[in-house]
Structure 1
Amino acid sequence: MFRRAFWFTAGAAAGVWATTKVNRQLKKLTPESLAAQAADKAVEAGHRLKDFALDVKAGMSQREDELNDALGLHQDPDRPDNVTALPGPRRLRAIQHDKTTPLNVTYNRNEDH
């Protein structure tokens, strides 16, 4: 008698558990639930994209500061608009021409086409 009652109770509990599990899965597959899941994933992807953009912006700013330090470009605190001061002009190398080419002849690469 106890054996039958035990197996009847175990079977009923397994049936309730399986029915609950199936109903939860069916609710996840309704159109409303799928739309809500897609919206949540889109919001999550948007947050990740925003974080990535902020990381890229911070990296760009850091690299720009490193390059400015390496090139000697520093902001002058005396200037009211904080415009970055550029280094002085560079010397131009002498252009060497062979003696057969006249100096006033220019070459337009679009003339050949």
Structure 2
Amino acid sequence: MFRRTFWFTAGAAAGVWATTKVNRKLKQLTPESLAAQAANKAIEAGHKLRDFALDVRDGMAQREAELGEVLGIDADPELPGPRRIAAIENSNNPKYSKDPRYVERSTYSHNRNEDH
């Protein structure tokens, strides 16, 4: 009789264990769970990509400093001034000249919300 009780208990425990395992796996395969897992993997990949980009940037800065030192290039060169836009400041066309006689006075309103 003791054997029967032992095997009955062992079978019941195995059934509970198997049922628990199957239910956990089914919960992992629900659409919400799969979406959450995919989002977590995407965030993790983004962090790894950002870390890689920062490492590359640090390596580039270090290598540029090494090359500048070897070549004798100034590490902090003066930046050039802002570029002028040729279409706006065309000195050959009096319409765009800075001379106050040629300043165009437009009466057209550029408000697109007005009724035409």
In which range does the TM-score fall when normalised by the shorter chain?
Answer: 0.5 to 0.7
> Which of residues 52, 71, 83 is equivalent to 2:77?
83
Task: Report the equivalent of 1:49.
Answer: 49
Q: Which amino acid aligns with 1:83?
A: P
Question: Which residue matches 1:100?
Answer: none
Q: 1:45-76 CA deviation, whole Å, 9 max, x = no partner?
A: 0000000000000000000001101101134x
Q: CA separation in 1, counterparts of 2:77 and 2:70?
A: 18
The 2-side partners of 1:70 and 1:83 are apart by: 16
Aligned counterparts of 1:40 and 1:83: Cα–Cα separation in 2: 43
Q: Which residue of 2 aligns with 1:108?
A: none
The residue number in structure 1 matching 2:93 is none
TM-score when scaled to structure 2?
Answer: 0.65
In the TM superposition, structure 1's runs of 4+ consecutive aligned residues that sit over 4 Å from their partners are none
**Partner SS for 1:83:** coil
Question: Which AA in structure 1 matches 2:46?
Answer: G
Identity fraction in percent? 74
Aligned-pair RMSD on alpha carbons?
A: 1.1
TM-score (normalised: structure 1): 0.66
Query: Which residue number in structure 2 is paired with residue 3 of structure 1?
Result: 3
Matches within 5 A, 1:59-98: 59-75=59-75, 82-83=76-77
Is 1:22 aligned with 2:35? no
Unpaired runs of 5+ residues, structure 1, are: 76-81, 85-113
- How many residues were matched structurally? 78
Q: Taking CA–CA contacts closer than 8 Å with sequence separation of 6 or more, which of the two structures ends up with the larger relative contact order?
A: 1
- Give the counterpart letter for 1:12 in structure 2: A
Corresponding residue for 1:101?
none
